[in-house]
Structure 1
Amino acid sequence: MSDTAVLDITVAKADFADPADAAAIVAMLDVYACDPMGGATPLSDDVRERLVPALAEVPGAFVLLARIDGEAVGIANCFTGFSTFAARPLVNIHDMAVAPAHRGKGVARALFAAIEAEARAIGACKVTLEVLSGNHRAKELYASLGYGDFQLDPEAGHALFWQKRLT
C-alpha cells in the first residue's frame, strides 16, 4: 500500500461480552501501557484478567476500537461523567492509543470523530481528556481538533490534573 492510499479505518463500540473485542481491548491497552507515554510497563496478568469484566460493570463506560482490515490498531477508553455547571453529561477520554505502526495514518482522528459522535448522541456538553505535557505529538493532534487547556477565568490559570495513589 502506498503512502497516498486511503486506509479503510473502521471504528466501533466494543462489546464487552464478545471474546474478540475483549481480547482487542486488552491487547491495545497493553500496547499503550508498554509505550513511554503509557508508563512503559506491560499490564500485569491480574489486570489483563480483570480489565474487561470490570469495565463492563462501570456505568457509562465505553470503549471504541479502531480497526484496519479487521486488526485492532487503536483504542479509546471513555467514561461518561456529569458537568454540574452545564447540568449535562460529559465524556472523558481516559485512554487514547494507536499502535506505533499505524500512527500518522488518521486512526486517532477517526477515534475522535466517533467519540464526539457518541458524546453528541447522549447530549454531552463537552469531551475532556488528559495529556502528558511532554507528549508533543498528541498535543498537536488534540489542538488541531479544537482541544485545549481548561480554564474558567484566564486570571485564575488553567486546570491541572493531580492524583494521589491509594494502596
Structure 2
Amino acid sequence: MLHSSLASTVHVRLANYADPDDAKAVVTMLDAYAQDPMGGGHALPAHAREQLVPALAARPFAFSVLAFAGTQQGSEAVGLANCFEGFSTFACKPLVNVHDLAVMPGHRGLGVGAALLAFVEGIARERGACKLTLEVLQGNAKAMRLYERMGFASYQLDPQMGHAQMMQRWLR
C-alpha cells in the first residue's frame, strides 16, 4: 500500500515503449538500478542503454511498468518493473516473471514497490497467469520483506529436496 502522503502523488502505469519519455524513463530507471549495489554497482553499457527499449518492444511477451512521483504535468520516474511472460508447464498456464524491480533510493520504503507489484499482478491476472516469479539477493532484506508482505515465498517441490535456487550461466 502507498503511504497516504504518496498516494495522491505516485502514478503507476504500463510503459509505452513507443513514447520517447517512457523509453527514457525505462532506461534511466534501469541504469540507476544497475548502478545500485543490489543491481551490481555498474552503469549499463552504452549498447544496453541504446538498444534496451527497441529490444523490449520487439518481444511480445515483455512489458514494463513505471511509477511516477509528482503531478501528471511535472512527474519523474521513481519506480520500474520489467516483466516477461513465461509458461508453467506443470500448471499449463502462463506465468509472469518480474525480472527487474527498481525504486529510486529517495522513494524506497514508501509503497512504490508494492504499487508496482500490485499493478503487475493485475496484468498477470488479465493474461490468465498462474503465478508471479522473481529473484532477490539474499542480502536484500528490505526487498525480501516487501516480497513476503506481497505473498511471495521461496518454493520447493518436495521438502526433502529443499528450496529452489536461481542459477545462471553466461553465454559468451
- Normalised TM-score (structure 1): 0.96
Match of 2:31 in 1: 30
Given residue 131 of structure 1, which amino acid in structure 2 is its aligned partner?
V
Match of 1:13 in 2: 14
Give the superposition deviation at 1:59: 2.2
Give the superposition deviation at 1:4: 6.2
Find the aligned partners of 1:161 and 1:109 in 2 and give their Cα distance.
23
Gaps of 5+ in 2: none
Give the superposition deviation at 1:5: 2.4
Structure 2 residue matching 1:5: 3-state secondary structure: helix
Say if 2:112 is the partner of 1:107. Answer: yes
Structure 1 residue matching 2:23: 3-state secondary structure: helix
Say if 2:49 is the partner of 1:44. Answer: no
Structure 1 residue matching 2:79: 3-state secondary structure: strand
Give the superposition deviation at 1:58: 1.2
Find the aligned partners of 1:30 and 1:97 in 2 and give their Cα distance.
10
Match of 2:130 in 1: 125
Give the superposition deviation at 1:90: 0.2
Gaps of 5+ in 1: none
Match of 1:67 in 2: 68
Pair 1:62–1:4, CA change in 2 (3 A): closer
Given residue 163 of structure 1, which amino acid in structure 2 is its aligned partner?
Q
Q: Give the length in aligned residue pairs.
A: 165
Find the aligned partners of 1:6 and 1:158 in 2 and give their Cα distance.
36
- Normalised TM-score (structure 2): 0.93
Find the aligned partners of 1:120 and 1:6 in 2 and give their Cα distance.
26
Given residue 110 of structure 1, which amino acid in structure 2 is its aligned partner?
A
Match of 2:140 in 1: 135
Deviates more, 1:143-152 or 1:77-86: 143-152
Match of 1:161 in 2: 166
Give the superposition deviation at 1:145: 1.0
Find the aligned partners of 1:145 and 1:4 in 2 and give their Cα distance.
18
Given residue 16 of structure 1, which amino acid in structure 2 is its aligned partner?
Y
Structure 1 residue matching 2:5: 3-state secondary structure: coil
RMSD: 1.1
Structure 1 residue matching 2:119: 3-state secondary structure: helix
Find the aligned partners of 1:165 and 1:138 in 2 and give their Cα distance.
25
Say if 2:58 is the partner of 1:53. Answer: no
Give the superposition deviation at 1:155: 1.1
